[in-house]
Amino acid sequence: MITIKGLRKDFGPRTVLDNIHLELPSGRATGIVGPNGSGKTTTIKALLGLVKPTEGAIYIDGESVQGQWQYRQNIGYMPQTARYPENMSVNELFEFISEVRGNPTDNKAKLIEYFDLEPELDKRMRTLSGGTRQKVGAVLAMMFDPRILIFDEPTAGLDPRASVQFKKLVHREKEAGKTILLTSHIMSEIEELADYLIFIVEGRIRYHGPMKELIEKQKEQRLEEAVAKMMEEVTA
């Protein structure tokens, strides 16, 4: 369970997150949506300790993360565009991360098989296709079986088969009790994966609740239409 209380983030004179209160329960996936530049990635970075809140606090399973770093071991993060040591082969990268983490057991063999990455293992990172890089990112996020999984635009660049595989895995992780947070501009993906939805505009939460309720409230059939309607309402 992740709890965010009164989170504010200023970059210079600009407030990009304002009074964010959130609870993200275990065993559930929460989708975070909103226009470009609304603060989705900044929220994720605050959770990861990559952005220092100007105000407010973040708790994981009831414990404040302020000044802590060990808690990050419990978070698997798949960024939108990841930077890797480009001269390493895929296999070297996996081995290197395993060594750095000093974790004797990991799931990487299973995940490599699951994402059909065996033929790519000896290739250097810089030579990989976009989709293969995404798959490498998915393995890195999930290989240590973290309790919390954060995915930023996870299926961008994945082919349909890999995308279906990825989504199946997310469902499994959810059933295993993980706390999942994801962003995507693909509303059908959020609809398939998320139980709860956060709609954020200019750093403020405009909706946080069950996805189904939002669709019903907006009297629409699909999330895409419900979110489009909300966007129109806030810019009207």
How far, in Å, CA of 120 to CA of 128, rounded? Answer: 8
76 part of the interface to ligand ATP, by CB under 6 A: no
Is 78 among the residues that bind ligand ATP (CB under 6 A)?
A: no
Q: Which two tokens stand for residue 203?
A: 């750093």
Pairing of the two strands 196-201 and 28-33? parallel
**42 interacts with ligand ATP by CB under 6 A:** yes
Instruction: Draw the binding track, 10-39, toward ligand ATP (x: CB under 6 A; -: no contact).
Output: -x----x-----------------x-xxxx
Q: Two tokens at 43?
A: 């929220």
- Our CB check for ligand ATP shows the closer of 50 and 164 to be 50
| Residue 213: both structure tokens together | 């309720």
Is-contact 208 196, C-beta < 8 A? yes
Stretch that binds ligand ATP, among 40-48, 53-61, 130-138, 157-165 (CB under 6 A): 40-48
Contact 169, 209 (CB under 8 A): no
Of the pair 37, 209, the CB lying nearest ligand ATP is at 37
d(CA 184, CA 32): 7
Positions touching ligand ATP (CB under 6 A) are 11, 16, 34, 36-42
